[in-house]
């Protein structure tokens, strides 16, 4: 019995741990259902992801943080396509392990009209299998910026996920190269295809 418990506990700890490198992530797959998640909004209030997506399907955008120039460009490009995305019946929710105090500056900098959320400690991105350990070089860079709060021990491989109101994953895109992002036009094509 003790051996069985040890094996079960060991397997659970592997499922919950972040990869060492972005190339080693093992993301959830299409058809899976999102795990429960309590995130934090720009006011520092806890919000249930299940409630946020409960009435409107969502495009979940995972970004490294407001300190990342590639993330900011991607978030801005999605802002330009937001009306087309909402016309297709989706909302945009952008999630990072950034401190909630950095959400409003990121929104203001990018002129974003959609919701940004903080995943404190990166537990949600870890549960999704898209987290990897924050490189020391990145921690050093972030420390040199005017970011609020502490740097998370994990960051996500940037990507996009489309989910239903029940939390079922209908589409995923993740690229270990943080400079390569899904373009808004390609996302719109995917959303149109899912509507058929």
DSSP track, 75-104: HHHHHHTHHHHHHTT-EEEEEESS-GGGHH
| 146-187 pLDDT, tens digit each | 777 777 899 999 999 999 999 999 999 999 999 999 999 999
| 73-125 pLDDT, tens digit each | 999 999 999 999 999 999 999 999 999 999 999 999 999 999 999 999 999 99
What is the pTM (predicted TM-score) of this model? 0.89
What pLDDT sits at residue 2? 43
Residue 12 pLDDT exceeds 60: no
Q: What is the largest CA-CA distance in the chain?
A: 57
Calculate the alpha carbon distances from 92 to 45, 54, 83, 105, 150 in Å: 19, 13, 10, 18, 26
CATH number of 18-195: 3.40.30.10
> Is the CA virtual torsion 91, 60, 85, 104 positive or negative?
positive
Q: β-pairing, 58-62 with 46-48?
A: unpaired
Grouping H, G, I as helix, E, B as strand and the rest as coil, residue 149 is coil
């Amino acid at each position: 019995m003790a051996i069985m418990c040890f094996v079960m506990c060991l397997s659970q700890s592997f499922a919950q741990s972040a990869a060492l490198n972005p190339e080693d992530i093992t993301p959830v797959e299409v058809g899976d259902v999102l795990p429960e998640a309590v995130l934090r909004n720009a006011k520092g209030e806890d919000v249930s992801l299940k409630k946020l997506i409960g009435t409107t399907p969502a495009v979940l955008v995972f970004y490294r943080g407001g300190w990342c120039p590639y993330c900011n460009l991607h978030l801005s490009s999605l802002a330009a396509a937001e009306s087309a995305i909402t016309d297709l019946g989706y909302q945009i929710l952008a999630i990072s392990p950034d401190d909630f105090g950095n959400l409003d500056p990121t929104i203001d900098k990018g002129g974003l009209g959609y919701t940004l959320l903080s995943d404190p400690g990166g537990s949600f991105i870890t549960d999704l299998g898209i987290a990897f350990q924050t490189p020391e070089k990145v921690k050093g860079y972030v420390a040199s910026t005017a970011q609020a709060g502490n740097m998370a021990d994990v960051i996500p491989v940037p990507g996009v996920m489309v989910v239903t109101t029940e939390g079922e994953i209908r589409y995923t895109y993740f690229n270990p190269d943080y400079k390569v992002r899904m373009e808004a036009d390609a996302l719109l094509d995917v959303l149109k295809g899912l509507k058929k």
